[in-house]
C-alpha cells in the first residue's frame, strides 16, 4: 500500500516541521510532495512485472492508419460531423490534425 | 478513435500518432519514433488493466500514457509525448479554419456491443473479469476499484 505509507511519511514530516522549524524542512516536504506522482504510478520500466501482463485484450482494437484527410469544414458540410462533435486534435509538423470518432456520441 | 485507440500513419508527409482510450480516460499525442526510427504500434495486451502499446517490429511494450518503453528491446527509451487537445468542431474551426481531419472508415462499433458499456465503473454490481484483476498491482483502498480520483 504505497499511498498510506507515503501519506504517513508526509504527516510525520509536517509534524517535524511544526516542531523544529518550517523553513528547515519545507524544502524536504516539497521535494517529497513533488515525487508523489512517480511513486504512485506503477507503469514504468523499472517496476514492470511481466507476470501481470495479460493476453486478454490483444485482438480488441486495430490501429487506425491515417492516409488521407479532408478539411473540418468539408466534414461539417457533408454532415459527417455536427458542430458539437468532440474531437481529439494533435499537432503535427504541418499544423493541427483532428481525429475522427472520439466517442460513441458522434453522428455516424 | 473510440474503436481504434491508436491512430498512426502519414498525412501531409508527417507521421502523427495519437492514443485515446475512452475507458482508461487517457489520451496523448506521440511522435512514433525511437532513436530516430519510426515505429508502428498496435494495441497489445493488458497491464494494470490498461492497454499497452506494442512496437510491431521489435515487440517492445510501451506505456500508452507516458510513452516509456516498459519491456523488450527498447526498454527504458521514450516515445516523445505531447498534449492531445479535446475540442468541439465549431471551436476547432474558430481555432484554425483550415484544420484537417482524418476519418476512419470503420463502422460505428462494428455492430457489436461495447465492452465499455458492460464494465463501466459507475454501474452497480459490475465486476472486472478475473483476467483483468490479475493485471493489477496493489490497489489503493481509498476509492472503489476503477474509480477515478485525485490523491493529494
Over residues A46-64, the pLDDT tens digits come to: 999 999 998 776 667 778 8
pLDDT of amino acid A104: 40
Note whether ipTM > 0.90 here.
Answer: no
Beta-bridge partner residues of B50: B47
pLDDT of amino acid A80: 84
How do residues B78-136 score in pLDDT, each as one tens digit?
988 888 888 899 999 999 999 998 877 665 555 555 554 455 556 666 677 788 888 88
**Cell (9 digits) for B59:** 515487440
Among partner residues B45, B85, B98, which is closest to A88 by beta-carbon distance? B85
> Among residues of chain A, what percentage have pLDDT more than 70?
51
Decide if A90 and B75 are in contact by the 8 Å CB cutoff: no
**Cell (9 digits) for B60:** 517492445
Which of the pair, A97 or A58, is modelled with greater confidence? Answer: A97
Residue A13 has a CB neighbour count (10 Å cut-off) of 17
Which of the pair, B138 or B12, is modelled with greater confidence? Answer: B138
- Please, is B42 exposed, middle or buried when counting C-beta atoms within 10 Å of its C-beta (0-12, 13-18, 19+)? middle
Decide if A56 and B131 are in contact by the 8 Å CB cutoff: yes
Distance between B48 CA and the closest CA of chain A, angstroms: 8
Decide if A94 and B14 are in contact by the 8 Å CB cutoff: yes
Whole-angstrom distance, CA of residue A26 vs CA of residue A8: 16
Amino acid at each position: 500500500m504505497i499511498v498510506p505509507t507515503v501519506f504517513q511519511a508526509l504527516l510525520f514530516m509536517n509534524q517535524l516541521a511544526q516542531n523544529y522549524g518550517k523553513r528547515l524542512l519545507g524544502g524536504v516536504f516539497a521535494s517529497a510532495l513533488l515525487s508523489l506522482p512517480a511513486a504512485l504510478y506503477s507503469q514504468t520500466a523499472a517496476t514492470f512485472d511481466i507476470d501481470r501482463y495479460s493476453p486478454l485484450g490483444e485482438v480488441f482494437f486495430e490501429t487506425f492508419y491515417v492516409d488521407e484527410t479532408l478539411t473540418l469544414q468539408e466534414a461539417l458540410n457533408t454532415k459527417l460531423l455536427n458542430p458539437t462533435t468532440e474531437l481529439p486534435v494533435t499537432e503535427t509538423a504541418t499544423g493541427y490534425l483532428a481525429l475522427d470518432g472520439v466517442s460513441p456520441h458522434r453522428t455516424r | 478513435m473510440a474503436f481504434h485507440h491508436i491512430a498512426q500513419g502519414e498525412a501531409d508527409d508527417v507521421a502523427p500518432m495519437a492514443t485515446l482510450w475512452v475507458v482508461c480516460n487517457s489520451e496523448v499525442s506521440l511522435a512514433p519514433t525511437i532513436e530516430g526510427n519510426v515505429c508502428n504500434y498496435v494495441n497489445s495486451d493488458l497491464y494494470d488493466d490498461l492497454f499497452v502499446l506494442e512496437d510491431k517490429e521489435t515487440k517492445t511494450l510501451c506505456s500508452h500514457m507516458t510513452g516509456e518503453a516498459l519491456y523488450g528491446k527498447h526498454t527504458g527509451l521514450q516515445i516523445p509525448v505531447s498534449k492531445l487537445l479535446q475540442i468541439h468542431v465549431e471551436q476547432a474551426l474558430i481555432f484554425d479554419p483550415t484544420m484537417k481531419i482524418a476519418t476512419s472508415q470503420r463502422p460505428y462499433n462494428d455492430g457489436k456491443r461495447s465492452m465499455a458499456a458492460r464494465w463501466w465503473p459507475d454501474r452497480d454490481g459490475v465486476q472486472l473479469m478475473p483476467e483483468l484483476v490479475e493485471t493489477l498491482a496493489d490497489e489503493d483502498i481509498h476509492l472503489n476499484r476503477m474509480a477515478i480520483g485525485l490523491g493529494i
